[in-house]
Amino acid sequence: MQPVPLAADWFQGAISVELCDGWLKPWRLPHDRRNLFPSPNEDLLSRAEMASGARLRFATDSTRLVLRFLPLPGAVNPVCPRDTFRIDLTLNGDLLVSADVKPGGEEAEFSGLPQGEKALELWLPQDTSIAIRDLRVDDGTACRQVPDPRPKWVTYGSSLTHCVRAHSPARIWPAIVARRRGLNLTCLGFGGQCCLDPMVALVIRDRPADLITLKLGINCIGGALNARTFPAAVIGLVQIIREKHPRTPIGLVSPIGYPPNETKPDAVGYTIRQMREAIQDAHRRMVQDGDTNLYCFNGLDVFSEELIARYTADQCHPNADGIEVMAENFDRAVMEPLVKKVV
């Protein structure tokens, strides 16, 4: 097989691509400014290094592919019910085949692909970082980078958007929705780290987008923000983004069901229900201030307490099947009305 030289513009869904001698690594934050994204134990950066929603996009007439990378980390995320990392290959949004790679593995092979030139996307593992060495195709065939002309969707959220528990990377709920709706996805779901950081707001502000969704709240329960600071942080997040997206449709999505703090106050006296009310009030205030392209959605329509009881083991994180349910509900409750607003 023949190697294909790769470059940063082959990646979709990455905010930046780290280029080193012999490999390229996608990041979901600007890796060259990593010092400006502090968090205890560098947890935000470790989540941004994971490739949730990141993918290689290209066209080839080869019927076989081999993706080569540096050895994958030595352990699969402990919350995942499998002992391998997974890479997906899609064609026109449809999942063709998946490849499982053991920790320490260095390549993934995909064979039996359709004849003729086709535009493919290789979805990288949502639960680890990956440094790509090269892509290999059958001798005598062509492979080239192709742009993605589809409307650009940026979504921001917590572990519920990061989706390490998903069946595979093309089956995180943002990817399911994006493939169904024909959207070019950038997934900024950071497990445990959706704290409405101003620096993340600047990243979203500077990202080209035709549609933006902000799924907020769950990482702020427990004392990170309170009744005084949370509404102001929501408004500040949107206002920063609006500096370069004055008319882009933005959807605010309040927390899904969270039984431990639905009505029981956290350490600072705040509840999830109060957070939902605060997001609705923030939305009302910004609309009254003249924002005619801001929309608000109730997270309980995305994943209710009844679904939490059915699909979670910890009253918070849907399992892989629950993530597929979340995709269906998000598509119906949020995306269906929002895509009509995209020009």
Residue 81: pLDDT band by 50, 70, 90 thresholds?
confident
Supply the mean pLDDT for the chain: 97
CATH 2.60.120.260 fits 2-145, yes or no: yes
Q: Is 150 exposed, middle or buried (0-12, 13-18, 19+ CB in 10 A)?
A: middle
Give the model's pLDDT for residue 82. 80
Query: In b/e form, how buried is each residue of 160-198, taking b as 16+ CB within 10 angstroms?
Result: bbbbbbbbbbbbbbbbbbbbebebbbbbbbbbebbbbbe
CATH 1.25.40.20 fits 152-339, yes or no: no
Q: What is the mean pLDDT of residues 186-211?
A: 98
Under 8 Å CB-to-CB from 2, ≥6 apart: which residues? 136, 137, 138, 139, 140, 141
Residue whose C-alpha is closest to residue 173's, from 47, 53, 92, 55:
53
Give the model's pLDDT for residue 332. 98
Residue 92: pLDDT band by 50, 70, 90 thresholds?
very high
Check whether 10 has a pLDDT greater than 80.
yes
Residue 311: pLDDT band by 50, 70, 90 thresholds?
very high
For residue range 215-225, list pLDDT tens digits in order: 999 999 988 99
Residue 195: pLDDT band by 50, 70, 90 thresholds?
very high
Q: Which two tokens stand for residue 26?
A: 């996608």
Give the model's pLDDT for residue 330. 98
Residue 177: pLDDT band by 50, 70, 90 thresholds?
very high
Residue whose C-alpha is closest to residue 327's, from 111, 163, 183:
163
Q: What is the DSSP string of 103-139?
A: TT--EEEEESPPSS-EEEEEEPPTTS---EEEEEE-T
Q: Name the CA dihedral angle for 203, 198, 285, 152, rounded to a multiple of 10 degrees.
A: 10
DSSP assignment letter at 341: T
Q: How many CB atoms lie within 10 A of CB 101?
A: 21
Residue 33: pLDDT band by 50, 70, 90 thresholds?
very high
Residue whose C-alpha is closest to residue 244's, from 216, 203, 282:
203
- What is the domain partition of the chain in residue ranges? 2-145, 152-339
In this structure, are residues 97 and 62 in contact, taking their beta carbons and an 8 Å threshold? no
Residue 11: pLDDT band by 50, 70, 90 thresholds?
very high
Comparing 308 with 223, the larger pLDDT belongs to 308
Q: What is the mean pLDDT of residues 144-156?
A: 97
Q: What is the mean pLDDT of residues 312-323?
A: 97
Residue 20: pLDDT band by 50, 70, 90 thresholds?
very high
Please tell me the pTM assigned to this model: 0.97
| pLDDT-above-70 percentage for the chain | 100
Check whether 77 has a pLDDT greater than 90.
no
Q: What is the mean pLDDT of residues 168-182?
A: 98
